[in-house]
Structure 1
Amino acid sequence: MDLSPLGRAALAVREGCRLRAYRDGTGVWTIGYGHTSAAGPPAVTEGLTLTQAEAGALFAADLGPYVASVRAALARPVPQPFFDACCSLCFNIGQANFAHASVVRLAKAGELDRAVEAVLLWDRPAAILTRRQGERDQAALAAYGAVYARRGDRDPVRVPAGPTLITPPRPDPLASMTGRAAVPAESWWPRLREAIRRNMQKGA
């Protein structure tokens, strides 16, 4: 399984995005969509700033290990909203905490109803409660087209309907900080060509 576009959008709303480094509720220097030095480069220090493009690229890079951890911990198919909510929880509490959480133990035992409620056990600090309630409500869904990032939000998070377009990636905006090379054109062109072929077949 993988994090869905809607799950990613809901997580982005929960995290929020700040383009200048700040100390989170526990005093850890943070930037972008919840990025800290513990997640890898760039190291977050006072005065660090990002562009919106850099923040988005950093969020995408940070997500991978957390999604992989959730996939490995659950080790069985679950409803997509439950998986997405677990990714959101894991991103917030950390991979080690998630791996040993009651949510995982109950889900692996097939007790999804109890696993959904176990999301609420991670209720500290108090300011996290509406996020946790939103994750719990998300996890309880069998399927979805929209989700509330936090319980009590006025508007749900939605992902535009229709096919996902494959576009050539721009040069990695984090390359100057991470040393990662931009993705070569050869790696995306076959996917783009195949998407065009499928769309033409659908229209025939």
Structure 2
Amino acid sequence: MDIPETLVELVAEFEGFKAEAYQDIGGVWTCGYGTTGPDIHKGTTFTKEEALQRLSETLQSIWNQIEQKTSIALTSKQMEALSSFAYNLGTSALFKSTLWKYLEEGEIEQAAQEFPKWSHVNGKVITGLLKRRVKEQELFLS
């Protein structure tokens, strides 16, 4: 399934657009709408169009990975919430998380309670991350 445009919009809103690469709060080189990876370094630049293309491609890949890995039926809203979460933290973090464990056990409410726990960087709660996790949690439960 193609990802919903609302997912791209949600992640773009939380990530914000930066045309030039910068180091995020964790020291990771980032550009566009939160794009990271071996090809992102000091001096990397994106146009908004390039950044949206990369964002959409990455979100589609994440969506597909979640669909392939889950053993239960998920709603589109749950998929959006999980894809946003995984875009920010990585699919490895999602698939190893207690959130995923509860989800796979069909414990939707318990899974939802895990979202806000992922709002720390270097042991400190980051307000922007907490807002994102709460939005993902609400979307997941809607």
Q: Please classify the TM superposition score into its range, dividing by the shorter chain length.
A: 0.7 to 0.9
Q: Which runs of 5+ in 1 are unaligned?
A: 142-204
Distance, in Å, in 1 between the alignment partners of 2:71 and 2:80 is: 14
Residue of structure 2 in register with 1:34 after alignment: 34
Residue of structure 2 in register with 1:13 after alignment: 13
Residue of structure 1 in register with 2:4 after alignment: 4
Give the paired residue count. Answer: 137
Cα displacement (A) at 1:2: 5.2
Cα displacement (A) at 1:22: 0.5
Distance, in Å, in 2 between the alignment partners of 1:70 and 1:51 is: 29
Deviations 1:31-71 (A, max 9, x none): 01111124xxxx11212211111111121222232112222
TM-score normalized with structure 2 length: 0.87
Which ranges of 4 or more aligned residues in structure 1 deviate by more than 6 Å?
A: none
Q: Which runs of 5+ in 2 are unaligned?
A: none
Kept in 2: contact 1:3–1:83 (CA 8 A): no
SS at 1:64 equivalent: helix
TM-score normalized with structure 1 length: 0.62
Distance 1:57-1:2 versus aligned 2 partners, 3 A rule? closer
Name the larger-Rg structure: 1
Distance, in Å, in 2 between the alignment partners of 1:97 and 1:122 is: 10
Query: More helix per residue: 1 or 2?
Result: 2
CA RMSD of aligned residues (A): 1.6
Counterpart selection for 2:106 from 106, 110, 131? 110
Identity %: 25
Kept in 2: contact 1:69–1:99 (CA 8 A): no
Residue of structure 1 in register with 2:130 after alignment: 129
Distance, in Å, in 2 between the alignment partners of 1:118 and 1:25 is: 22
